Amino acid sequence: MSYRTYIAISRAAYIAGIEAGIAPQELRAHTGVIGEAFVADYLGVKLTNENNQRGYDLIDEDGLRVSVKTITTSTGVSLKESTLDLVDRIIVVWLDTNEDEIGVHVAYDASVERFLADSAAPYRGSLRLGRGSMTFPNKQPSAQKFEVGDVIATHVEDNIVIRKHTSGSFTALVGGEPMPARQYLLEIRNALGLPDKATNTTRSLGAQVFGALGK
């Protein structure tokens, strides 16, 4: 079954629930799968094999870990501060519900660092991205699809290539295949004897390691 077919079936189930009088927030199981399947199709990748993967929902073609948040009537979206170092990219999907149809739109697509800059100060362990930072169909687009940019520096160890991009993101190729870079950056940092930091996002680790290596 293709993602488009899966999305269509999930949409039908969601609409049936709405028509039955069920509130959108009570249909989270359907909204979540619609959002994740839509983003997988949007990025041209597959969903992770494991359900409830801690911190992220899928890995993009550059090996960045993507957290997908799906909203309906909500005016914003929240993420736990404690899991942000497990994510590289955040995509918010908005489900536009009407009487007999449902539209799916990417309202936000940015690096976790951009999310930290756009969101409100942490409250009870969560950061909240307000509606004003997102783009909806009736609003002039303010941001384009997030891209890591060109490679400007590399570090090679055995069959592992760590790449620094113009966006400030770091990606990894292991045997030529894209993989999340964070675990390899942690290993290199520890091997170099560099100190732990308060935040250990992929980007902060990459900056620390590449800075120590003079790259």
pLDDT for 124-140, tens place per residue? Answer: 889 999 988 998 876 55
Residue 99 pairs with which residues in a beta bridge? Answer: none
Residues of the chain with pLDDT under 50: 1, 99
- Give dist(CA 99, CA 22) in Å, integer: 13
Domain that holds residue 58: 3-133
Looking at the fold, whether 116 and 76 belong to one and the same domain comes out as yes
Instruction: Name the pTM for this structure.
Output: 0.73
pLDDT at 182: 92
pLDDT at 1: 47
Query: Which three-class secondary structure state does DSSP give residue 10?
Result: helix
Looking at the fold, whether 66 and 113 belong to one and the same domain comes out as yes
Looking at the fold, whether 19 and 94 belong to one and the same domain comes out as yes
> pLDDT digits over 38-74, tens only?
888 888 887 665 555 667 888 999 999 999 998 876 6
pLDDT at 22: 58
> pLDDT digits over 65-76, tens only?
999 998 876 678
- Give dist(CA 150, CA 114) in Å, integer: 18
Tell me, what DSSP letter sits at residue 81?
G
pLDDT at 145: 75
pLDDT at 26: 60
- Give dist(CA 152, CA 133) in Å, integer: 29
pLDDT at 214: 93
Query: Which three-class secondary structure state does DSSP give residue 56?
Result: coil
Q: Is 140 part of a structural domain of the chain?
A: no
Q: Is the distance from CB of 96 to CB of 57 less than 8 angstroms?
A: no
Q: Is the distance from CB of 205 to CB of 169 less than 8 angstroms?
A: no
CATH number at residue 36: 3.40.1350
Domain count along the chain: 2
